[in-house]
Amino acid sequence: MKDTFRKFDDIDRRGFLTGTAAAALGVTILPDFAVGEESEIIKPASHATAKNVIFLYMAGGMPHVDTFDPKIPSEIAGGSSPISTSANGLQISNHLPQMAKQADKFAVVRSMTTKTGDHAGGNYLMHTGFSRQPGINHPQMGSWAQYFLGRRNKLIPDSIVIGGGNPGPGFFRPDHSPLPVGDPSRGLKDLVPKIEKKRFERRMKYAKAFSETFEEGFPHEDVRAYADFYEETVKLFDDKTTELFDINKEPAEIRGLYGNSRFGRGLLLARRLVENKVRYVEVQLGGWDGQHGNYNAGSNRAGEMDGPVAALLQDLSNRGLLDETMIVLTTEFGRTPKINQRGGRDHFPKAFSVMLAGGGVNGGQYIGETDERASSIKGEGYGPKDLHTTIAHALGLPIEKRVHPGGGRPYFVGDRGKVIKQAFS
């Protein structure tokens, strides 16, 4: 058996390890397996302005003209029109009236652009800062931060994804993987093994003995890394840990501030987690795809986004957490300014907007601009890798530091993008 295991390729070993342990313990939250470099712990750079990041991902292509870059021409505006905000000179769409009241806290980058116009490719690029490449998976920012800055909380992972899948750790070790939480109202309840506690503890005892024997017989790095990650995963099922994920512990008035939508509950959980020293939390809001006869998808989703994001900004500010928590609201690409013949908006990677707040960001401003028809960028544009480099800069990560996964080609956090310096001035 020992010789057979060593002949397995990486995918076979991965399947064997995850399948065996999941069958024994009933836990199914593990990421795709990867073994990477050991963490290279450093102190954040002196210019660091953020300790935490809340990454708000608008899946499906958020239209800039319906949100942060509204225009007046009727064939472009649809039901959107510019309104004034609490920040002098910054206008956003009438679909975002609550966020307009908080505009002094955020900056809008209107000159985002990319060449990737498909959902899968755009999703990967916006989550990693890298275009997809054969044979390599790149880490998301939470994994990069843990690699350089270490893990802050011994009870729970350093990065968590709410409302989405598990992207895995990229080319880093399994313990750098984000934890996926499906329903923010249930927290970890859906992840806890569906077996009684005594039986689970008995299985854990047997699994530990199996793991020790297996590691001794097969001293492969995959086995050691998996065992370490699995041990950390099981710690999540402690009552004290699961309580951190329980938004029902929040006062009723705070829960009411965020509303009862799944997205709103996700933002409340994100605030609760960063308050408990989780460094990186992603919350997703899908349904922005409005190209087939439904240009109202943008306004509908904008309405669902508006109140909860405004609540998050206000709540973090009230708690003194906004100064150290960077909020990034982004999407994979924009939507065509002109409504198509089917009554919708098509994919439009040429120009779109993102919002930045907290963590050193100077609010009440817009950065870059599009022309009067929102169809092209005037002046300097920024891509997804620039956004990632900006986040890394705010966290104090070494953006010029080479990382050689598996001894191969070098990679840089942010893929050598440029910092959006105006955001901090």
DSSP notation for 149-209: H--S-SSS-SEEEESS-----TTB-GGGSPEEES-TTTTTTTTS-SS-HHHHHHHHHHHHH
Q: Is 269 left (phi over 0), alpha (psi -120 to 50) or beta?
A: alpha
Asked whether 199 and 166 are in contact (CB, 8 A), the reply is: no
- The CA distance from 221 to 31, in Å, is 16
Q: Which residue type is seen at 370?
A: T
pLDDT tens digits, one per residue of 375-416: 999 999 999 999 999 999 999 999 999 999 877 889 999 999
Phi and psi for 146 in degrees, rounded to 5? Answer: -65, -35
First to last CA, the chain: 61
In this predicted structure, what is the pLDDT of residue 4? 41
- State which CATH number among 3.80.10.10, 2.130.10.10, 3.40.720.10, 3.40.50.10860 fits the domain covering 31-187+245-420: 3.40.720.10
Q: How many alpha carbons fall within 13 Å on the CB side of residue 161?
A: 22
- The CA distance from 60 to 352, in Å, is 13
- Strand ranges across the sheet with 280-285: 179-181, 159-162, 280-285, 52-58, 325-331, 352-357, 106-112, 365-367
Strand blocks (E) in 229-368 = 280-285, 325-331, 334-335, 347-348, 352-357, 365-367
In this predicted structure, what is the pLDDT of residue 42? 85
In this predicted structure, what is the pLDDT of residue 208? 58
Match 């005594």 to its residue by tokens: 198
Q: How many alpha carbons fall within 13 Å on the CB side of residue 146?
A: 32
Query: b/e for 362-379, b at 16 or more Cβ within 10 A?
Result: ebbbbbbebeeebbebee
What are the beta bridge partners of residue 182? none
Match 């910054």 to its residue by tokens: 90
Asked whether 98 and 264 are in contact (CB, 8 A), the reply is: no
> If you average pLDDT over every residue of the chain, what do you get?
84
Q: For the chain, which residues score pLDDT lower than 70? A: 1-39, 190-239, 291-295
In this predicted structure, what is the pLDDT of residue 317? 98
Structure tokens at 106: 């955020």
